[in-house]
Each structure stands twice: as structure tokens, then as C-alpha cells.
Amino acid sequence: MFARSLSRPAVCALGAASLAIASGAYAACTGPGAPSNTETKCLTAIQIPGNALRSFDISFTNPRRAEYYFADRSNAAVQVIDTEGLTVKRALGGFTGAVLNGSGNVNNNVSGPDGVASHGRWLYAGDGDSTLKVFDLDSNSNIAAQTIPTGGATRVDEMALTSDGELLLAANNAEDPPFATLFRANGDQGFSSVSIISRITVDPAIVPAGAGLSLEQPAWDPGTQRFYTSIPIIANNPDGCNYGQRAGDITCQGGLLVVDPAAVSGPTTVIGAFDPATHTGVVKLAGCGPNGASVGPDSNIILGCTPQNNPGDNATVVISAESATMANSINVGGVTGSDEVWFNSGDKRYYLGASRDCGKPSGCGAPAGGAVLGVVDARTNLLIEKIPQSQNSHSVAADSARNLIFVPEVAPFGVVGSGGDTTTVGQQICGSTQGCVAVYVHRPRDHEGGER
């Protein structure tokens, strides 16, 4: 249930306020991104003060605080949004922002903020200078309480926390070879004392240097007490495949890095192939080069496979964390190309930030940009629906207490240039040309057909 109901008049008032701020040509929540025949409804659009949204990254929610966070590189800040009032509360700063390369495009590898995660009063965010920043959300300060270098030259990207908030795993995805850092985090304590436990790398026979391979979204499974991190491409999967060591299409599939934090010790840890006896190591995936990873019911993990990693990928995969094999995996047909994926326990659905749905410029029912919000039933692993989004839309998070889904939308190409939306989908969702955070709602129904 909603902690505080939002009546339709209140939503209209929010939309009107947004238009007044942005002077947009459209009303918010119109067009292909606000269909009338989907279960997931476009509720409103939240305008972000400052620069138009050209570059942003990962999202996260903290339902107990009624807050949503997203990495806004366009304004060099993590934006904090009130998920009850649907307004911007504050901007946590001190980040590198959107760093441009010589051709004027955003260089994501050194831009920030990037990955974000939160537990209790603490928010953790990766920056483009290979640092982890720690913010005290109970403090009035918008500056980090701690900044911890990870020893790389590129961004600290996606991350995951244990259920108690005492351990954090973050990936430096753009390093070559990539690495992850296991941190001792703050949990529920009232002061910040985050420190590095170990740098984690993958055996170079699995993730060789020199080919630009990466680590992507981690997820924590409380059932197996393991971190599971997507690896888009690994060598020799299958034998003799091309992981980038030679010209031509990538033919290698991806993997899933399984880390037992209790077994990690020392300043560096190298992890090899999956060992069923210890339930750690790299699992070889079939038909999946994943970016996103999120743990759902019964220790199932949804993986956001994408044809940007392997052109042959055409489905989304659900794998069991307990078995960590492809033997009982499930293909979710009809949607692919996901970056961030999110399990919402409030309605038992997965939400997918599918930036390249089916890998086609205009395929699978998506507009020219190919981006959709994918909705999958986590109980049946069946695709429910897809909702078109602004080009390059790839970030999504849900507030499980209110069943609100938050999707940042990039501003039009004509406003921000490269990286902007070449469709009109985002502009119509936002009701402005500045970009926005779109808010969707799904109200689950009980067995008797009434709203819960």
C-alpha cells in the first residue's frame, strides 16, 4: 500500500507545477511512454533543477526513508527525491560531473556520479575519479563524510550492499582489467568508518586484459549469502570464441561472478572458475552477455542480457542463485538490452531499464531509440509489458512501499547534443525539454480483484 495516497488531483497539480518550471510544450505523461492500456501507469514527471539531463547513471531507492536517488552526471550530483511528495529534496555534490572527450561527447569512464546504494542513514556513490563517496543522509551537509580511493584511474560504478548494510561490493568496470572492491560499510552505526577489505579480480584466463572487458551490476542474495556480479563477456565461452582479441563480432557469452565475502581476505583476491563445493567463482552463461543483475523471489536472479555485448543475445535470463548453473535457467522472451534491472518486492515484479530492446534501432515495438521500461512477473518469469522510453534510457529503481517506479529521461538531442533523445518520447513523458525523472505506478490487486 501507499504510505500516503496520491489522489489524481494532486498528481495533476504536480504536473502543472512541472510545466510551470520547465515551460515545456507538452503536458507531462503523454505520448508512447504513457500508454493507457498498460498495467504500469505514468503518474507524473519530476523536473530536476539545473542543467538539462544529458548524462546520468544508476538509481536506487530507500523505502524506509521514502527517498529515491539517482546519479545525475549532468549536474555533478546524486539527486535525492522524496517518494511521498514526489519532489526534489536535495543534491549531494562534489562529483566529477559529465567529463567530455576531445570530440565533445561524454566520457562515461571518468564521469560521475555512477553507481549508488543506500542503507539506513548512509548513501554510497561511485565517482569518475575511482573514489567511493559516503554521505550521511541524516546530516544537513551535502558533502561526502568520507571519500575512499580504490586505486584505479576510472569510475567506481555499480554496487550492492548486504542486507545489514555492513558490506559493500563495487565494480570498477572501466579498468582494464576490471576489478571489484569489497568494503566494510557502515551498517546502522551513527558514524562513518568505511574501509577497504580487498580488491577482487577475475582470473586472467577468464577476463583477459587488453580487450576492454568489464564487470557490471552486482546483487546480494541473502539466501546464499553471496554477491552475484554480471560479467558481460568472458573468454572461452564457448571455446575458441572471440571476446575482442581479434576483429569481428563478439561471439563469447558472459558470466556471473559469485563472491562469498566470508572467504575474502587479504589486500587482493583472485577468483577463478565456479567451484560447486565452495559456491564461488565465475559461472559460464549461455545465450547471455549480462549488464544488469537483481535478486528476486526464491533466490532467483534476473540478468539483463544485451546484444550490445553479444549480437546473438535475444532474451533476458533468470538463473537460480542456489544452483548457479544454466541447467534450470529461464529465458524471458520479448525483451533484452537491459542495463540496470530491479526487483520490486511490493508487487513481485522485475523492472528493466532496457536501453536497446532487441538490439534493433526500431525493433520490438519500440520507437527509433529502442529503449523501453520492461515489466516482468517475478513469480512466473513472463514478460507483462514494455513501455517506450527516451533514447538511452537505462536506469530504473522502484519504491517497494509505494509501488512507484522511477525512470530518468534524457533531454532532447536538440537541447543537449550527443547523448540526447532523438525521439520525442522523453519530451512527451517529461512535459519539458530538460529531461526529468518519470514516475510510474503499479497498484497490485488482491485475489478478490480489489486494490490492496
Please report the pLDDT score of residue 411 as a whole number. Answer: 98
- Flag the least confident range among 48-52, 135-139, 280-284, 355-359: 355-359
Identify the helix (H) or strand (E) that includes residue 22.
helix 8-22
What is the C-alpha separation between 441 and 313, in angstroms, rounded?
Answer: 30
> Greater confidence, 20 or 257?
257
Position 367 pLDDT exceeds 70:
no
Position 153 pLDDT exceeds 90:
yes
What is the C-alpha separation between 224 and 401, in angstroms, rounded?
Answer: 25
Name the 3-class secondary structure at 283: strand
What is the C-alpha separation between 215 and 231, in angstroms, rounded?
Answer: 5
Please report the pLDDT score of residue 368 as a whole number. Answer: 59
pLDDT above 70 covers a percentage of the chain that reads 90
115 occurs within a structural domain: no
What is the C-alpha separation between 227 and 260, in angstroms, rounded?
Answer: 7
Pull the grid cell for residue 309. 555485448
- Residues 272-286 have a mean pLDDT of 97
At a CB cut-off of 8 Å and minimum separation 6, what does 298 contact? Answer: 223, 320
187 occurs within a structural domain: no
Q: What is the mean pLDDT of the chain?
A: 91
CB 117 within 8 A of CB 161: yes
CB 288 within 8 A of CB 313: yes
pLDDT above 90 covers a percentage of the chain that reads 84
Please report the pLDDT score of residue 308 as a whole number. Answer: 87
Please report the pLDDT score of residue 303 as a whole number. Answer: 97
440 occurs within a structural domain: yes
309 occurs within a structural domain: no
- Residues 404-425 have a mean pLDDT of 96
What is the C-alpha separation between 251 and 260, in angstroms, rounded?
Answer: 29
428 occurs within a structural domain: yes
At a CB cut-off of 8 Å and minimum separation 6, what does 82 contact? Answer: 66, 67, 88, 89
Residue indicated by cell numbers 584511474? 153
Residue 346's domain comprises: 1-47+334-452
Please report the pLDDT score of residue 197 as a whole number. Answer: 98
Identify the helix (H) or strand (E) that includes residue 416.
helix 413-416
Please report the pLDDT score of residue 240 as a whole number. Answer: 96
- Residues 27-41 have a mean pLDDT of 96
Task: Report residue 20's pLDDT band, with 50, 70 and 90 as the boundaries.
Answer: very low
Task: Report residue 78's pLDDT band, with 50, 70 and 90 as the boundaries.
Answer: very high
> Greater confidence, 370 or 255?
255
Identify the helix (H) or strand (E) that includes residue 224.
none
- Residues 234-245 have a mean pLDDT of 96
Task: Report residue 286's pLDDT band, with 50, 70 and 90 as the boundaries.
Answer: very high
90 occurs within a structural domain: no
- Residues 248-268 have a mean pLDDT of 96
Please report the pLDDT score of residue 3 as a whole number. Answer: 34
Q: What is the pTM of this model?
A: 0.92
- Residues 174-188 have a mean pLDDT of 98
- Residues 383-392 have a mean pLDDT of 94
Pull the grid cell for residue 318. 533468470
Position 80 pLDDT exceeds 50:
yes
380 occurs within a structural domain: yes
59 occurs within a structural domain: no
At a CB cut-off of 8 Å and minimum separation 6, what does 319 contact? Answer: 256, 283, 285, 300, 301, 303, 325, 326, 328, 329, 330
How many separate domains does the chain show? Answer: 1
- Residues 172-194 have a mean pLDDT of 98
Please report the pLDDT score of residue 101 as a whole number. Answer: 94
- Residues 246-262 have a mean pLDDT of 96
> Greater confidence, 12 or 417?
417
pLDDT digits (tens, 9 = 90+) for 307-342: 889 988 888 999 999 999 998 899 998 888 899 999
Task: Report residue 420's pLDDT band, with 50, 70 and 90 as the boundaries.
Answer: very high
pLDDT digits (tens, 9 = 90+) for 220-234: 999 999 999 999 999
> Greater confidence, 391 or 215?
215
pLDDT digits (tens, 9 = 90+) for 99-130: 999 999 999 999 999 999 999 999 999 999 99
Please report the pLDDT score of residue 231 as a whole number. Answer: 98
Please report the pLDDT score of residue 9 as a whole number. Answer: 30
